[in-house]
Amino acid sequence: MTVKQISIFLENRPESLMELTDILAKRNINMRALCLADTNDFGIARIIVDDPENVANILKEEEYIVKASNVIALEIPDETGSLNKILKILGENGRNVEYMYGFTGRKTNCAFMVLRCTDIPKTEQVLDSNGIRMLNQEELKNI
CA of 100: how far to CAs of 37, 57, 70, 74, in Å? 12, 25, 13, 11
Please tell me whether the overall predicted TM-score, pTM, comes out greater than 0.75 for this model: yes
What are the pLDDT digits (tens) for 127-140?
999 999 999 888 88
Pair type for strands 97-103 and 133-135: unpaired
- Distance, in Å, from the CA atom of 109 to the CA atom of 111, rounded to the nearest integer, reads 7
What are the pLDDT digits (tens) for 41-52?
789 999 999 899
Beta partners for 73?
114, 135
